[in-house]
Structure 1
Amino acid sequence: MSDATTTDLYEVTMALSYLREGMRAPATFGLFVRDLPPGRGFLVAAGLEPALDFLAGFRVERADVEDFAAALKRPVEDLQPLLGLSFEGEVRAVPEGHAVFADEPLLEVTAPLPQAQLVETYLLNQVCHQTVVASKAARCVLAAAGHPLVDFSLRRTHGPGAGFQAARLGAVAGFAGTSNVAAATALGFPASGTMAHSYIEAFPDEEEAFRAFARCHPGPVTLLVDTYDTEAGVRIAARVLKDLRRGPGCAIRLDSGDLGALARGARAVLDAAGLPEVRIVASGGLDEYGVARLVRAGAPIDVYAVGTRVGVAADAPYLDCAYKLVEYDGRPVMKLSSAKVTAPGRKQVHRRAGHPDVIALAVEAPPESTRPLLHTVMRGGRRTGPPDRWQDARERLSADLAELPDSALRIEDPEPVRPVRSRALEELTARVRAQIEDRLPSRAARSV
C-alpha cells in the first residue's frame, strides 16, 4: 500500500468517473483557509515540503487499485483506469514560514482533473495540520520575548509523525531545541532534555539522585527539583552543583506549581549559594498564554519548555481549510453555497509592508512596490528547485513578523490584517456568479 490510498473514498470515486468520462483537461484547485481561528492574528504557512514530497512520488500501483476496489466492494477490473495515475502537474505555493491570512491561497495545484482531485485529502492533511501548529509555535516565540524555547511535545502529539512535525515547526518558529531525538538528528537541530520524576524516585533521596546523574554526565546538567518539596530540592541541587563545581551551563527545572513564585524563590537560593550562572527552566502545561503571563510578571525564568498545548495546538487544533476547484479547461468556476462562496480563477497574492495583502488574478500585473507570495515550486510533477530548509523558513517568518502591525502580534485579542481583492478578481467573481445563477432552474423559472 502506498500513500496514494491515504485519501478519502470520494476522491477515488470522482477520479474514476472523470477518467471514464474523458475529463482529463487541466484543472486548478486552490487551498486556502476560510477564517482564522479565534485568538489568531496571523497564520504561518507550513507543510509544503512534505506535500511536495508526496506529489513527486505519487503513483497509483496495482496494490492501490486492489485496495480501492476492496473499499468500494467492486471488481478490481472496474478500477483499472486508475492504474498508473501519477502527478504530472504544476504547483504554485507560498513558501513555508511566510505569514498568511484568511482567503489567501496557500497553494494552487494545476494538473489533469483526475490527478488534481485524487491528491486533495493528503495535501489538506499536511498543510492544515502543520500550519496550525507552526502558528501556535510562532506565538510562543513572541510571548517568550527573547527567552529560549524548547519543544517537549513528542509524548503528547497525535502519533510520532505529528511529533516530528511539531519539532520541525518549532525550529521554523524560532525554538532553541527539542526533546525529540529523531527530529533533532534528522534536522540538525539541538536536542535538549533533563530527567523525569521517576529518576529521582528510584534513588533513596534527591541528593543521591542528583549526584548520580552528574557522575554519568560530565558536562552541564539540568536537575529536576520539584519531585517532593521544591524549595528543598533547589537547596539540594545548589549544594550538589557547588560541591561538584558544575555551575556554568547547568540549570534546575521547575515542572509544576506556581512557576513564577517558585522561580523567584529558586533564584534567591541559587544566588545566595554563589550560583548566579545556573539557569532556571520552566515547564508544565505551558503555551503562549502561560509564557506571556510569566514574562509580564518578570519571573526569573531563563528557558521555557512547551509541550502538549503547543504540539496539538490545544486552543485552536484545526483550520477551516478548503481545496476548491477554481478553473477547469480554461473556464473559471466557483461555489455559491451559503457562507462557503469561493472566488474563481488562478490567483496571486501581492504583499507590501504596511499595507493589506492584495488577492488578485494570476494574470494581473502586480501592484507597484509589491512582491508575490506564490511561487512555482513544481512543474511537470517535478520540483523546480532543491527542497527548502527549515532555516530558510525561519528567516522568512522572522522577516514577515517584523512587518506585521502590533495588533496582529498580540497574544490576547489579536486583530488579523484583512487582505483585499483586486478589482479584476471582484469583476470576474461577479461575472461567473451571474453566469451560474442564470443557469439555475429557479432563475429560469422566474424569467418565464
Structure 2
Amino acid sequence: MTLPTPRNDASAVELAADIAGRTDAYFNRTRAIVQRFGDKTVTYAIFLRRPVISAPRLMLEWLGTVAELRGTRFEVDEVYPEGSWVGAGEPLVYITGSFTLLSDLETIALQKVGPACVAAHNAYQMALMLPEVAFLAMDARHCAGAEMQEMMAYAASVGSEAARREGARGFVGNANDATAHWFGAPSGQAPRGRGTMPHSLIGYAGSTLRAAEMFHETFPDEPLTALVDYFGREITDGLAVCRRFPELAAAGRLGLRLDTHGGRFLEGLDPAESYAVLERHAPGAIRRYRSETELRFLVGTGVSAAAIWRMRETLDAAGFPAVRIVASSGFGVDKCRVMADAKAPIDVVGTGSFIPDLWHETYATADIVDYDGNPMVKVGREFLLRRNGARRKAAPG
C-alpha cells in the first residue's frame, strides 16, 4: 500500500510533533514497525466500561484534522450518535483506516472522548432529576486548563440536550464567553457567559446591598442576582436587596444566590429548625431512611433543602414571590436527586459538579477488531466485533 503524502506545512509539522510527544511510546514504535513491514486497513472499536452519554464530537473533529493534515481519510461508524445513552462495554464508535496513520493516535483520541462521555451522563442525570430547574455550567474554575474547559462545557451541552428531549430545561448557559457557544444565544446575539457577582465584589463594596447597587448601576439592563451569604445574613441581606429593587423583584428580574459553605447553617437555621422547615414542606423526605450524606443535603449545613425552603417561605411572606432562588455549592448528581425528593423550590442551579468525581471511570479503551477485512480481537473482547449491518461513514479530512 502506498501511503498518501501529508501536507508539508507548519500546521502538519506542529501537529506531528504534538502527537509524537504526547502519545505512548509503544504506539509510536508500532507505527514504525508497520511502516517497515507493510500497512493494513484496521478498524478500532472505542468503548467505556460504564454507562455514558455518547459525546464523541471533540475526538472525531480532532481525528478529521489529523486525517486532513496526513492526506488520508478515516471512516467512522457512530454506533451511538451524539447524545445517545450507551451501555457499559458497548462500542460507541468504530474508526477504520490505515494502521500506519491510526496507530499513534489512540492515546490522544481516548483522552478526548472518555471524560466528555461521563460528564455528559452526569449533566443528563442532574437535568432530569430537576426538570423544572435551569442549570448554569460553572465548571471552568475546576478545569485543568483550556482543553478540559472546552471538553466539560461541550459535555454539559450534550447531556443537557439529551435531557431536554425528555422534557427537562437543562443547561441554559455557562459562566464564561470562551465556551458559551455550546449553549447557544438569543437570536441576533453572540453567545456569552452569564453571572452577576463573586464574593470578592461584596468584600470590595463592604455590604451585600452596596454590591447589588454597584452591579445595577453598571449593568442596568441586566437581570440582577445577589450573592447573599458573605456576611452570614442570607435572609436579612436578601430581603434588603429585594426592598431596594422592588421593580426588579416584581418583574422576576431579581434573584438571590445561596452559596452558604458547609461550615455553617443558613441564617436562622439549626438542626431542629431545619427539620421543622422540611416537616412543613416535604415531610416525606425526612421520614425515610437516609444516609449521612443525604441528611446533610436535606437538613445539614450549607445549601440544604431546608435552607432553600426557608428562603422561599421568607420571600413569599415578605411579598416577593417572583424573586428567583439560585442555588450553588456542590450540586452533583446525588445532591440533585435529594433536592428533587424534597421538592426544593430552586429556580436556577449553578454548578460544575458534572465534572467526573471518579476519574478512573472516564478511561476509554480502544481495541482493533478487524485487520484487512478479517475480524480479530483479543480473547475476552469479542463483544466489540462489528455487528452485521453496521453502517459506516467517512470522517472529515
TM-score by length of 1: 0.66
Number of the residue aligned with 1:269:
314
Say which SS state the counterpart of residue 118 (structure 1) adopts.
Answer: coil
- The answer to whether 1:29 aligns with 2:68 is no
Alignment of 1:130-145 (within 5 A): 130-145=116-131
**What per-residue deviation string (whole Å, max 9, x for no partner) do you get for residues 204-242 of structure 1?**
322222212122221321000110122222122222222
Bigger shift: residues 133-142 or 5-14: 5-14
Say which SS state the counterpart of residue 124 (structure 1) adopts.
Answer: helix
Number of the residue aligned with 1:254:
258
Aligned-partner Cα distance in 2 for 1:185–1:334: 40
Percent identity, aligned pairs only, is 28
Number of the residue aligned with 1:179:
175
Bigger shift: residues 220-229 or 233-242: 233-242
Bigger shift: residues 316-325 or 210-219: 316-325
- The answer to whether 1:319 aligns with 2:362 is yes
TM superposition shift of 1:172: 1.9
Paired residues of 2:250 and 2:320 also in contact (CA < 8 A): no
Closer/same/farther in 2, CA of residues 27 and 202 from structure 1, 3 Å limit? same
Aligned-partner Cα distance in 2 for 1:329–1:221: 61
Find 1:50's aligned residue among 42, 48, 58: 58
Paired residues of 2:136 and 2:173 also in contact (CA < 8 A): yes
Alignment of 1:103-252 (within 5 A): 103-174=89-160, 175-185=171-181, 188-189=184-185, 191-219=193-221, 220-228=223-231, 229-242=233-246, 247-252=251-256
Paired residues of 2:91 and 2:384 also in contact (CA < 8 A): no
Number of the residue aligned with 2:74:
89
Bigger shift: residues 281-290 or 190-199: 190-199
- The answer to whether 1:335 aligns with 2:387 is no
TM superposition shift of 1:21: 0.9
Say which SS state the counterpart of residue 108 (structure 2) adopts.
Answer: helix
Closer/same/farther in 2, CA of residues 142 and 59 from structure 1, 3 Å limit? closer
- The answer to whether 1:15 aligns with 2:31 is yes
Aligned residues: 321
Number of the residue aligned with 1:4:
19
Q: CA RMSD in A?
A: 2.4
Aligned-partner Cα distance in 2 for 1:116–1:7: 12
Aligned-partner Cα distance in 2 for 1:97–1:328: 30
Number of the residue aligned with 2:9:
none
Aligned-partner Cα distance in 2 for 1:242–1:56: 54
Closer/same/farther in 2, CA of residues 324 and 151 from structure 1, 3 Å limit? same
Aligned-partner Cα distance in 2 for 1:265–1:55: 51
Say which SS state the counterpart of residue 205 (structure 2) adopts.
Answer: coil
Closer/same/farther in 2, CA of residues 264 and 345 from structure 1, 3 Å limit? closer
Unpaired stretches in structure 1, ≥5 consecutive residues: 37-41, 62-84, 348-360, 364-373, 384-448
Closer/same/farther in 2, CA of residues 177 and 209 from structure 1, 3 Å limit? same
Closer/same/farther in 2, CA of residues 271 and 107 from structure 1, 3 Å limit? same
2:28 counterpart letter in structure 1: V
2:53 counterpart letter in structure 1: V
Closer/same/farther in 2, CA of residues 245 and 20 from structure 1, 3 Å limit? closer
Closer/same/farther in 2, CA of residues 344 and 27 from structure 1, 3 Å limit? farther
TM superposition shift of 1:346: 4.8
Unpaired stretches in structure 2, ≥5 consecutive residues: 1-13, 161-170, 186-190, 261-301
Aligned-partner Cα distance in 1 for 2:159–2:143: 18
Closer/same/farther in 2, CA of residues 375 and 232 from structure 1, 3 Å limit? farther
Say which SS state the counterpart of residue 331 (structure 2) adopts.
Answer: coil
Paired residues of 1:164 and 1:180 also in contact (CA < 8 A): no
Say which SS state the counterpart of residue 202 (structure 1) adopts.
Answer: helix
Closer/same/farther in 2, CA of residues 245 and 326 from structure 1, 3 Å limit? closer
Instruction: Flag as ranges the 4+ runs of structure 1 deviating above 4 A.
Output: 243-247
TM-score by length of 2: 0.74
TM superposition shift of 1:89: 2.8
Paired residues of 2:59 and 2:113 also in contact (CA < 8 A): yes
Find 1:310's aligned residue among 354, 364, 370: 354
2:195 counterpart letter in structure 1: G
1:26 counterpart letter in structure 2: T
TM superposition shift of 1:320: 4.4
Aligned-partner Cα distance in 2 for 1:216–1:331: 67
TM superposition shift of 1:26: 1.1
Closer/same/farther in 2, CA of residues 96 and 104 from structure 1, 3 Å limit? same
Closer/same/farther in 2, CA of residues 376 and 146 from structure 1, 3 Å limit? farther
Say which SS state the counterpart of residue 63 (structure 2) adopts.
Answer: helix
Closer/same/farther in 2, CA of residues 245 and 108 from structure 1, 3 Å limit? closer
1:88 counterpart letter in structure 2: R
TM superposition shift of 1:324: 0.6
Aligned-partner Cα distance in 1 for 2:340–2:385: 44
